[in-house]
Amino acid sequence: MGMTMTQKILAAHAGLDEVKAGQLIMADLDFVLGNDITSPVAINEFNKAGFTEVFDKEKVTMVMDHFAPNKDIKAATQCKQCRDFCGAQSITHFYDVGRMGIEHALLPEQGLVGPGDCIIGADSHTCTYGALGAFSTGVGSTDMCAGMAKGKAWFKVPSAIKFNIVGKLPKYSAAKDVILHIIGMIGVDGALYRSMEFMGEGLKNLTMEDRLCMANMAIEAGAKNGIFAVDEVTLAYVKDRFKREVRVFEADADAEYDEEYTIDLSKIKPTVAFPHLPENAKTFDEIGEVKIDQSVIGSCTNGRIEDLRAAAEVLKGKKIADSVRCIVIPATQDIYMQAMEEGLLKIFIEAGCAVSTPTCGPCLGGYMGILAKGERSVATTNRNFVGRMGHPESEVYLASPYVAAASAITGKLSQPSEVM
Amino acid sequence: MKAKGIVHKYGDNVDTDVIIPARYLNTADHKELASHCMEDIDIDFVKKVKTGDIMVAHENFGCGSSREHAPIAIKASGISCVIAATFARIFYRNAINIGLPIIECREASEKIEAGDEVEIDFESGVITNVTKGESYQGQAFPEFLINIINKGGLLNSLK
Ligand code: SF4
């Protein structure tokens, strides 16, 4: 019996010729990630366990993005603990304010992760790097600690669901709509413990940024990882960034999948996930008038340059509604700079948006756009759980940058065609 | 090894944001995390919970973020075991890695009610509902994971 793409990567990293779904393995890691929230817990464990050195100072990173620039004294203390640890360990890739970006936008951009890698990160959206053809999954701080110390992690080999992508997205439909559609279809536990493998002739019509957005939200369907077949788009993206060896793994022709779906991109319409689960996906024919107080354009899901271009296309020469606060957060410094050079920031500011330095900020209800009781935000982020962006009685509606921008203009959930 | 206590019952998709809201993640202090455990869905949980108590829920418990603060907050609040029909995978591995016993059992998650007194035998996976006089067979841990738990968590098992 053949292996899936994920299984092949895991077998190679466990030094085995073959693995089967359900098998427990110990795998070698190519990269280990933590942030300002999860790393302090891992560092405490590292010290408590008596470890003295990380396994490879080039292969561990800490990114200060969640509550940074420090939102309060406790956040400052956590960042300081990371900074001190990375300094003492001479960790090469420590990303502090001014250099940092949101981790899942930053690592692919900086070429720290690439095809064929086996990666863990103490952050659930670590599954993002599957876009590059890597096995990449979110873990907790204890796993991060073990990974930092030994360069290893245990895994239960997952079975997989195959998504055969065909066609091309219509104008104003986005990768975000595709993944919200898929989560709406299979549910927030539809891929529990399993891989989501994306392949097919339609992949060539998805840019790397589209893929990063989709792989990012695999966890919202409960998946262990999301992974895209490697093609010319992948190889072109990693060519001048990724320093390690590119390893291309392909699923065997006779690989076994639990389920298979065909996703026709040409049928995808602008989609919004209603509170309080990402699976509550609706298209605009099912959406009545939903007034919003805030629009957030950013995050590791949709804070990349193409996302900002999409939002700017809608906002150009227009003003956002008086009743709305629109917050735009470029995901990394490079994206920020690029957006500035392309004149996108000017478009946002002239439209009445606030533009922030890279941070997770409001995405996890940290700061920079917290909602009051009863308020609603449309957001290009990935979670709309109870209290995710502030008060437990506030609401988050997940959508694409096009929809978030259009809604900011009208003050209610709107698709781009309403304002263009 | 056994656990015995009174049940706190929840539904489907209890996510890590309600187990411990992100606004409290600016600390890694176990006691402080425990003092906010479950507050967005059950404001009284912290007042009601007694050491040894048991948490029972339905599908996909612990979905959402990878924050280990979630199982830590539950463990530090005094909960001795979580029973659910299914767990979200990161929560599952985090719980094992930090030594919070969890057990998957659909029948138990359906039949056990809030306030029942329940006993769990981790070696056999048998869950006994003392109040109702019933017992349910839960999924016992595979040997690989028992080894991690017996050594006192992942880090000790790697030394
Ligand atoms: S942007 Fe949001 S989802 Fe992404 S890493 Fe930050 S907090 Fe997590």
* ipTM computed for the complex: 0.88
pLDDT at A375 exceeding the cut of 70: yes
The beta-carbon neighbor of A146 closest among B86, B90, B154 is: B154
Mutate to test the interface with A, among B66, B91, B144 (most CBs of A within 10 A): B66
Distances (CA, A) of A241 to A114, A209, A334: 9, 15, 13
Rounded to an integer, the average pLDDT of A394-401 is 98
- Is pLDDT above 70 for B152? no
**Contacts of residue B13 in chain A, CB cutoff 8 Å?**
188-189, 277
Structure tokens given for A368: 């920079």
Pairing of strands A24-28, A281-283: unpaired
pLDDT at B109 over 90: yes
Q: How far apart are CA B15 and CA B53, in angstroms?
A: 20
Contact residues of B toward A, CB < 8 A: 13, 15, 17-18, 21-23, 25-28, 40-41, 59-60, 63-69, 71-72, 86, 88-90, 93-94, 97-98, 142, 144-145, 148, 153-156, 158-159
Confidence of residue B28 (pLDDT cuts 50, 70, 90): confident
What is the pLDDT, as a whole number, of residue B123? 81
Q: Does the pLDDT value for residue B157 go beyond 70?
A: yes
User: Under a CB-based contact definition with an 8 Å cutoff, are residues A276 and A386 in contact?
Assistant: yes
Cα gap B137→B158, rounded to integer Å = 31
Looking up tokens 């404001």 gives B43
DSSP string, A255-298: B--SEEEEEEGGG---EEEPTT-TT-EEEGGG----B-SEEEE-
Distance CA B10, CA A108 (A): 38
A192 interaction partners in chain B (CB closer than 8 Å): 60, 86, 88-89
CA distances to A84, A307, A377, A381, A408 from A284, in Å:
50, 20, 17, 19, 16
Q: Which residues of A touch B69 (CB under 8 A)?
A: 37, 41
Asked whether A38 lines ligand 1 (CB < 6 A), one says no
Q: Which of A241-250, A270-279, B118-127 has the lowest mean pLDDT?
A: B118-127
**Which one has a higher pLDDT value, A109 or B101?**
A109
Query: Of the candidates B59, B127, B52, B62, which has an alpha carbon nearest to the alpha carbon of residue B93?
Result: B62
Q: Does the distance separating the beta carbons of A78 and B15 come in below 8 Å?
A: no
- Alpha-carbon gap, residue A325 to A122, rounded angstroms: 32
Digit-coded pLDDT (tens) for A346-364: 999 999 999 999 999 999 9
> Which of these, A341, A331, A321, lies nearest to A401 by C-alpha position?
A331
Cross-chain Cβ contact A392/B40 below 8 Å: yes
Mean pLDDT of A369-386: 97
Confidence bin at B20 (pLDDT 50/70/90): very high
Contact B121, B108 (CB under 8 A): no
Alpha-carbon gap, residue B125 to A321, rounded angstroms: 58
| Residue ID of nearest Cα to ligand 1 atom 2 | A363
Q: Read off the pLDDT of residues A142-170 as tens digits, 9 standing for 90 and up.
A: 999 999 999 999 998 999 999 999 999 99
Q: Which residues pair with B67 in a beta bridge?
A: none
The C-alpha atoms of residue A384 and residue A387 are separated, in whole angstroms, by 8
Q: What is the rounded average pLDDT of the residues A177-183?
A: 98
A72-81, A127-136, A359-368, B17-26: which has the minimum mean pLDDT?
A: B17-26
Instruction: Measure B130 CA to nearest chain A CA, in Å.
Output: 31
Our answer on whether the CB atom of A225 is closer than 6 Å to any ligand 1 atom is: no
Nearest CA, atom 4, ligand 1: A300
What is chain A's mean pLDDT, rounded? 97
pLDDT beyond 80 at B144: no
Average pLDDT over residues A267-274: 98
| H or E element at residue A33 | strand A31-35
Chain B positions touching A40 (Cβ under 8 A) are 28
Residue A15 is predicted with a pLDDT of 96
Contact B25 A37 (CB under 8 A): yes
- Looking at residue A328, what is its pLDDT? 98
